[in-house]
Amino acid sequence: MGDIRQSLLPRDVLSAAKELLYHLDIYICNLVQSGRQPPQVDSKTLELVEEFILHAPKDRNTPTRRMSALQELQLLEIMCSCFQEQSRDTVRQLMFSALFNLQGNQADESRMALLSKLVSMAIAVGRVPILECAATWLQRTHRVYCVRLAQVLVDDYCSMVPGSVPTLQNIHSASPRFCCQFITAVTTLYDLTSEELSPPLELLQMIVSWIQDDPRLVLITFLNTPLSGNQPISSLDVTPLGGLMRWCIKAPLAYRSDKKQALSSGGCESEQEVGPLFSALHLSVLQVLMLLPTILNEKGLYGRLALLQMEALAALVSDLSRLLDQADKHTHLSSADVHTLSQLALDRLAQALQVSMASGALLCSREDLRAICSRLPHNNLLQLVLSGPVMYYNNIHTPPLAFSPHAAHSPITSHPTHPTHPTHPTHPTHPMTPTHPTLPTHPAHTPHAPLATHPSAHPQYPAQPFMTGMPFPYRPSH
Amino acid sequence: MLSDQTMSVVFDGTPLKAMQSSHSVTQQPALSTQELSQEIKSFISGVDAVQGRKLSVREHARCAVRLLRSVPACRGAVLEHLRGVYDEHVSAFLHNLETEGSASSGVNSNLEDIIQEVHGVLSEFIRLNPRAWAPLVSAWAVDLLGQLSTKHAGRRVAPHSSSLNELLQLWMSCAATRSLMEAYSQCLAAMLAWCPDACVDALLDTSVQHSPHFDWVVAHIGSAFPGTIISRVLACGLKDFCSHGAKELVIGVDKGSRVPKIGSVVGILGHLASHHSDSIRKELLRMFQESLSPSSPLSPTSSSTSWESSPQLRRAAVPFLLQLAAMSPNLFGAVSAELVELLRPPVLIQLQALLQGLPREELDNMLGLAVHLISQSPSGGARVLRFLADTATPASVIISGPTPSPHEGVREGCDRLLQMLLLHLHKLVFNRSDAAEVGPHHSALSQPQRVIPFLDELQSHVGQLCAETLRLERKRHLWLHQLLCLLSVYGGPSVATEALCQLLTQARNPEELALAWQLHTTLSSCMAGLVPSAVTRCVAQIHTHTLGPRQLRQLLLNLAAAIQSQDEERRGAAAAGAQSSMAVQMGSAVSGHLHDFGPLLLHGDPAVSQAAVYLLSCSPLPRTSSPAHLLLLSRAAVTHFFLALRRRGEAGKVGRDVGQAGEAVNCSVQLLSRFAAYSPLTLKAVLQQLVEGALHKGNADLFGGQIADMSGAPLASPSVSPDLGASLLDINCRFGTTVNFSGSVWSVFHAGVIGKGLKVRTAPHLLDPSGVIQNIQTLMSVVVQCCSSSGLNGSINGSLATSDPDEPPPINAEAAKVIAVTLVENVCPDVANGELSWPPEEHARTTVERDIHIRRCFEAHPVLFSLLQVVAAGRPALCYCSAVLRGLLATLLSHWESSRGVSSTDSLWHLQASCLLVSCMGEGQLLPPVLANVHEAFPHLTPFEVRLLLLAVWEYVRGNGPMPQKFVFSSEKGQFCRDFSRDGDVARYVAPIHSVLHKNIDRLGHLCWRFQL
């Protein structure tokens, strides 16, 4: 492959790129057919890609060649058809990785630029294969770059070109996987910490409609991905659940106030739309959470894989308390409004916590939750959630078992009478009753009461008496 | 085509729909992915993907617009493609202009509507989402504008890039460029709200890239957004300047090119300066002021932009402004004038506080820059200088206590700046002249003399500079003096002359005058003939009457002092040699202009005339001079002498300034004697005029004379002396302007106004006798000094004078002859019978009238006797007075004959006159001693006896005529003498004397020995 460099050099920019793509296709086909496992593109080829497609400066002596925007468009068009026409997934995937997997060198910038344009164009002209490849890319790449890709897409379709939102909307049907990853990236990007980081209304509407139409959308990546343990560090979350929860909880305080400033001159109709949108979104999130136990059980991961990270939760709570402080201090709303809004946020937090704990998405003790949430103002629901069911206190804190297919059902089988199991088959679709209706409230109960000894003595965790205040031994999912 | 129809629908509705909010739904049916894919293919290949035919430019452009609206990823490519479309339109437009035909107008208009469409889409996008689109479009538009204007700059119809207005007109009439311009303006308007720096940055960058051709864009944008653009451009430049670091900047414009932005900042502001110089000036000054005002977060200034908040940028503002000014004379000129006004003490203190934080190297750079600027500033230099000097001049010792006041730092800074400035100017001035000297033939053309605008401007303020220098304030006058030197060297002889002349005119005391010496000492090395030209300039000043009496006086005194320093130098050997050389030069220069100073002797202001006398009396006389000048001078000197005498008399009467008036007379005497000694001509002239003056009607009273009034009108009593108000002079003055023959002109006669009776005699103005005596003494001393000076026979008299200093030098015979001749001319109007020899006494009857006139003269002018005595002393000059003597003697004889008095003392005047006459004749050796002594007896005799004796005298003179040839020069006495022994026997003339003696022996016994033969 490296020997074609000499023949590429005298070509003009576009022909060289075209030719290299052609050769790359052949080379990867050969690679796959040779059956070598794993198929690996050698570094020489990667260098060629960088030189002739990405036009990264190879060294100082050779002048950097640049493609004009028109040539670049032609190249993108060729790539589109190239990926479209390639029938074999493996080849396609390998080729995409060869072109766009980040190498940690200075070519990454142009790589990102080209990728963004390619994906944007693929969305416009409906190239599903590219979107699938991009979905994979989004799973494997560091979240910073994923966020950048998402940013470009949002800019392109939601702000730059008016009326192009429907085009983006189509990706849901075109490539649900990509759509799911896109949502994850977008929720990571827009964390509602500032005005710039608030999702545009169009995007919000789009996401809500997607999830309302198909709540399982958010779990597609999770469902389709074998948890092989080779999840790259700092990649995006497996599901957008955490990000969506953050949106819903912070929105009453953050989104509103920010939009208020931004749209002070404009109409307020969008504001009235925003509240219901987040409500619907919250509901959808809770519904999705309710789906989880089944899925987790199917996968044998219940209680062992935390889809929601404690750190993220802690950050969310501290953000929330900061927002609450701000809302108290300077606001243009009446105090009654502020109170309503903060109670709404706290309610949502409590509901999300309860459901996610119950559904096994969040693995932590109520003790830890209490510690995390101690700074929040009073909220009835939250108090309830934090105090928890007294009699089953212990059960909830069962440390997860080792990840083993044989012990997959152990949490359920060992406690068959668990009354608060949220994914009890008898009422799996009961949406708004995340807590057991007969749950006795017993605030006077103290966690210091003597408890039964720890029921399970996992090999990894030496049997020891449960000690209050001891943090939940967090365990990564692999 | 379907798509075409939709597009046209879209564009027809654009303005309306674009106004809708961001929720305006897409105006076109969303194309399917298939269609989009086809579009992209068509766009790329330029061929209709469905029908397979080539797209026209128009269709291609429409296709591009569709893509722009639907495929975000194509944005870059579409904009790139549109560049070509715009370019094509511009080409067509220019071609159309060039051919001036309508052949291609169809194409033109076609493209024009496409451009309209594109513009519509872009402006809609910008309106809907300025944040996303404005940076993109503005960068694109600016770049494209730059490219277009550069590319088509060489076209025939395109005006030259220097004619900005025509260029602007051309491009704004072209749809493509106008649309780009509008798009950019829209972007700018949108972006100003949140990131103004970015768009101006782009503008600046492009401006640098397409420098002259792009100027119209900047100019247009600048005039569309003057306030913002100017301040933005400045802020941008400042930021860039700050990030590049001021360290790289060294004085000199060539280094400035390393910072591209500041260059284009200068260019842009330079363009805007033509129409918005006011706002530019305000903006620059505001920048300066705000950079100084203390950064208080409590006071949010309304107009505050980002740079004020950064202390680093604020600190860089002043160096930046300096740099800016250094690069653009326009901007500098705009600011400099008001800047000086701004620099009030509080501002200075702030400035100092600000600059204290800067590293030393940077400060030095700034200082150098400031100095460079000042030296290059074409106007306001005088103000700057005054400001610097004022600020740098230390307060008086008493005020500034032991602890330095906060102003002290400011003062020191200014001091340093001023010194650097002087040093810099020094270098400039002397390097410049060096260069001029080294290669006058080969490098004079290639390297023209460097102009220093600061000095150029100051040249017109030399006078003020001199005045300030002469104030002798400490330190200040040193600076100014140095500056004067530089200015003189720079400006060449004319300025140097002016400066020296001003110093000479304005100095008021020796210390101040010393500055002139210093200036001359510095300049004399490189400039010759400075003193003469300065004196010439001074004389010119006198001629043009630009000086007031005080100044005039001061100038004359200064010149005199300058000359006199020569004498002092001669006396005290310690003085500087340079000064003496200057004094010598000064002396010779003044002596060349003596005739110009002469008229000043008669200046109406006594102070001036006295100063003139002082000057003339101490200035050396020229070696050669034209007689006319000499005569004029001597006339003026003599006239001044009489004026001085009169002033002395008046001063004595009033009782003040006596000393000064006396001093004036002394000076005048000295001057006259110097003149008289200068040459025979002057001696003659001086004596002649002295005598004439003494006898003149106007001066007669000075010497106790009475004007013999011929008219018989009675003397009016002082109480009733009605002023008739008739003045022939007045009427003659009016004569030319008013034609008035109402008889008044003709009614004025010398004897009075017709119809008003005789003219009233004015009461004689009599001086007190002591004054008269003093005046006569003075006159005599002048005359004697003149006569005895070494004018005619200098060698002989001079040697005698030196041999016997105690004895007064003898009266020069020639001088005495001059007096005698003048006397005769004045006293004796009739030249008939004017021969020297005397006729018989009886013949005197023929000249009775003349004799009476002569007697009256003697009566009216007692000073005549004194003059006669002088003449007598200068033997044989008295011979030439023969006619006068004879006339006087004849009248005396007839008086004594007819006198019936008992004693000669009854007619006192005649007795005195007789005595004086005889003694004079004796002194003049017209009579032998025996006869000359007879006057001693006169007071004791009767009139008849006096007549007898006088007759004897007459007889002797008739017998022994008063002929000059009878006198012989005796070298031991140093004068002429007459040997009476060669004449006839005296005895027969002595007989009547002896008879008279005999008759009155009782009273005249003691005199007998006087009449021994």
Residues B77 and B11 in one domain: yes
Please give the residue range of the domain that contains residue B745.
725-760
Asked if B102 has any chain A CB less than 8 Å from its own CB, the reply is: no
pLDDT at residue A445 in the model: 42
Q: Specify the amino acid at residue A201.
A: L
What's residue A332's pLDDT? 65
CB of A72 less than 8 A from some CB of B = yes
Rounded Cα distance, B497 and B160, in Å: 48
Residue B956 lies in a domain: yes
Question: Cβ of A261 under 8 Å from any chain B Cβ?
Answer: no
Q: Which of B147, B167, B190 is the last residue of a domain?
A: B190
Q: What value does the mean pLDDT take over residues B371-382?
A: 76
Cis peptide before B876 (omega within 30 of 0): yes
Say whether the ipTM exceeds 0.85: no
Closest CA to B856 of B700, B635, B637, B675: B700
pLDDT band at A476 (very low <50, low <70, confident <90, very high): very low
Per the structure block, which two tokens stand in for B212? Answer: 């002259």
Question: What's the gap in Å between the CA of A154 and the closest CA on chain B?
Answer: 11
Between B201 and B8, the more confident residue is: B201
Identity of residue A52: F
Phi and psi torsions of A454, nearest 5°: -60, 125
Residues B628-650, mean pLDDT to the nearest whole number? 84
Distance CA B689, CA B668 (A): 14
Backbone angle region of A139, left / alpha / beta, with phi > 0 → left and psi within -120 to 50 → alpha = alpha
Inter-axis angle of helices B549-571 and B606-618, to 10 degrees? Answer: 30
Q: Are residues B748 and B896 in the same domain?
A: no
In this structure, the answer to whether residues B751 and B819 fall within a common structural domain is: no
Out of A69, A121, A125, the one facing B80 most closely (by C-beta) is A69
Q: B73 vs A117: CB contact, 8 Å cut-off?
A: yes
Confidence band, pLDDT 50/70/90 cuts, at residue B443: very low
User: Comparing A136-150, A265-279, B875-889, which segment has the lowest mean pLDDT?
Assistant: A265-279
How high is the pLDDT of residue A130?
Answer: 92
- State chain B's mean pLDDT as an integer: 75
Residue B677: pLDDT above 90? no
Mean pLDDT of A213-230: 80
Interface of A with B in 91-150 (CB under 8 A): 117-118, 120-121, 124-126
pLDDT of residue B127: 86
Q: Judge if B842 and B959 occupy the same domain.
A: yes
**Residue contact B72–A120, C-beta within 8 A:** yes
In angstroms, the separation between the Cα of residue A269 and the nearest Cα of chain B is 11
Question: A-chain residues within 8 Å CB-CB of B34?
Answer: 126
- Span B986-994, average pLDDT: 84
pLDDT the model gives residue A347: 92
pLDDT of residue B4: 42
| B821, B961: one domain | yes
Tell me whether A69 touches chain B (CB under 8 Å). yes
The conformation of residue A302, written as its DSSP 8-state character, comes to T
CA distance B611 to B593: 15
Residue of chain B whose Cα is closest to the Cα of A265: B21
Least confident of A373-387, B593-607, B670-684, B704-718: B704-718
Q: Residue B72: its chain A contacts at CB < 8 A?
A: 120, 124, 155-157, 160-161, 164
Helices (H) and strands (E) in chain A, counts: 22, 0
For residue A276, the SS3 value is: helix
Q: Which of A181-190, B520-529, B688-697, B981-990 has the highest mean pLDDT?
A: A181-190
B133–A contact, CB cutoff 8 A: yes
Query: What are the residue ranges spanned by the domains of chain A?
Result: 242-259+271-404
| Residue A429: predicted pLDDT | 40
pLDDT digits (tens, 9 = 90+) for B124-162: 888 888 888 888 888 888 888 888 888 887 777 777 766
Structure-token pair, residue A67: 């493609």
Q: Between B21, B124, B129, which is nearest A266 by CB?
A: B21
User: In Å, what is the CA distance from B274 to each residue of B171, B225, B270, B334?
Assistant: 20, 15, 7, 11
Reported pTM = 0.55
Q: Is A167 on the interface with B (CB under 8 A)?
A: yes
Residue B156 lies in a domain: yes
pLDDT bin (cut points 50, 70, 90) of residue A150 is: very high
Q: What is the mean pLDDT of residues B724-750?
A: 56
Report the candidate in B915, B927, B918 with the shortest Cα–Cα distance to residue B962: B927
- Comparing alpha-carbon positions, the chain A residue that sits nearest to B124 is A162
- At B399-420, the pLDDT tens digits run 444 444 556 777 777 788 888 8
Please count the other Cβ atoms lying within 10 Å of the Cβ belonging to residue B977. 15
pLDDT tens track for A29-85:
888 888 777 777 888 888 888 888 888 776 666 667 778 888 889 899 889 888 888
Most confident of A416-425, B363-372, B381-390: B363-372
Is A264 an interface residue toward B (CB < 8 Å)? no
Most confident of A452-466, B270-284, B735-749: B270-284
pLDDT given at position A459: 43
Please indicate whether, in this complex, the C-beta atoms of A163 and B125 are within 8 angstroms of each other: no
> What values do phi and psi take at B545, rounded to 5?
60, 35
Residues B173 and B105 reside in one and the same domain: yes
Does the structure show a pLDDT above 90 at A182? Answer: yes
pLDDT for B155-183, tens place per residue?
Answer: 777 777 666 777 788 888 888 888 888 88
Is the per-residue pLDDT at A351 higher than 80? yes
Q: Highest mean pLDDT: which of B546-560, B754-768, B988-1002?
A: B988-1002
Contact: B128, A162; criterion CB under 8 Å = yes
Portion 778-807 of B in contact with A at CB < 8 A: none
Chain A residues touching B30 at Cβ < 8 A = 163, 166-167
Instruction: Mark yes or no for CB contact B129/A121 under 8 Å.
Output: no
Across the interface, do B44 and A166 touch by the CB < 8 Å criterion?
Answer: no
* Cross-chain Cβ contact A161/B44 below 8 Å: no
In chain B, how many domains are there? 3
Rounded to whole angstroms, how far apart are CA atoms A352 and A286? 7
Per-residue pLDDT of A76-102, as tens digits, reads: 988 988 888 888 888 898 889 888 988
Q: Percentage of chain A with pLDDT > 70?
A: 74
Phi and psi torsions of A238, nearest 5°: -70, -35
Question: Does an H or E element contain B428, and which?
Answer: helix B406-438
C-alpha A41/C-alpha A29 separation (Å) is 11
Show which of B760, B786, B803 is a domain's final residue: B760
Q: Could you tell me the two tokens for A230?
A: 């080779």
Residue B49 contacts A where some CB pair is shorter than 8 Å:
no
Residue B806 pLDDT more than 90?
no
What pLDDT does A262 receive? Answer: 44
Residue A282's pLDDT is what?
92
d(CA B155, CA B153): 6
Return the pLDDT at A260: 45
Q: Kindly state the average pLDDT of the residues B950-959.
A: 88
Per-residue pLDDT at A409: 41
A159 inside 8 A of chain B by CB: yes
pLDDT of residue A179: 93
Q: Is the peptide bond before A38 cis (omega within 30 degrees of 0)?
A: yes
* Residue-level pLDDT at A115: 92
The sign one gets for the Cα dihedral A172, A178, A180, A184 is: negative
